[in-house]
Amino acid sequence: MPNGTYSKKVIEHFQKPHNYGKMKNPDGVGKVGNPICGDVMHLYIKVEKDKKGREIIKDIRYETFGCVAAISTSSVVTDLAKGKTLQQALKIDSNKVVKSLGGLPEIKYHCSLLAVDALKKAINDYLSKKT
């Protein structure tokens, strides 16, 4: 059933969101809220070292109170970040998120920023705890 507002990919993520739910003892937490429309996202990461000794995002989870775009951007940003090194994950930007979703309505772009901010905040939370 086609939707005139959201892409097929957005609907797929919305219908079967990946990586949602709370995480026990996360290494980093990013909590962000969108003052514009009131959506809220909590993102949790677990960090481990890979064989080469680089720090990677071993596991990632989120909880989102928000619209279709907020839920699907949360889902896709966790897909994009999972298994990546912290440096690679920090490079994920909202363009990348929008592109991975096959586009978003312009009015919903801020949702993709929300997801990216939550990820950055979680990584920075981990880094700040480490030092």
Partner 1 sequence: MKKIYFDYAATTPVDTRVIKTMRPFFKEKFGNTMSIHKFGQEAKIALEKGRKTVADLINAKPNDIIFTGSATESNNFALKGIALARRNLGEGGFAGHIIISQIEHPCIIETANWLEKQGFKITRIPVNKYGLVSPLDIKKAIRKDTILVSIIHASNEIGTIQPIEKIGKICKNKDIYFHTDAVQSFGKIPIDIDKMNIDLLTASSHKIYGPKGAACLFIKEGVKIEPILHGGGQEMGLRGSTINVPAIVGFARACEITKKEMRKEGQKIAKLRDKLIKNILKIKDSYLTGPPCGEAGHPENRLSNNASFYFSFIEGESLVLQLDLQGIAASTGSACSSIKLEPSHILLAIGLKPQEAHGSLRISLGRWTTEKEIDYFIKVLPKIVKKLREISPYA
Q: Give strand pairing partners of 60.
A: 45
Is residue 36 close enough to count as binding partner 1 by CB under 8 A?
Answer: yes
Closest CA to 76 of 125, 2, 5, 18: 18
Is residue 66 close enough to count as binding partner 1 by CB under 8 A?
Answer: yes
* Among 18, 58, 59, 67, interactor with partner 1 by CB under 8 A: 67
37 is catalytic: yes
Count the Cβ atoms, other than its own, within 10 Å of residue 25: 6
Place of tokens 């699907």: 72
Residues found near partner 1 in the complex (CB under 8 A): 1, 3, 6, 11, 14-15, 17, 20-21, 36-42, 63-71, 107
Q: Which residues are catalytic?
A: 37, 111
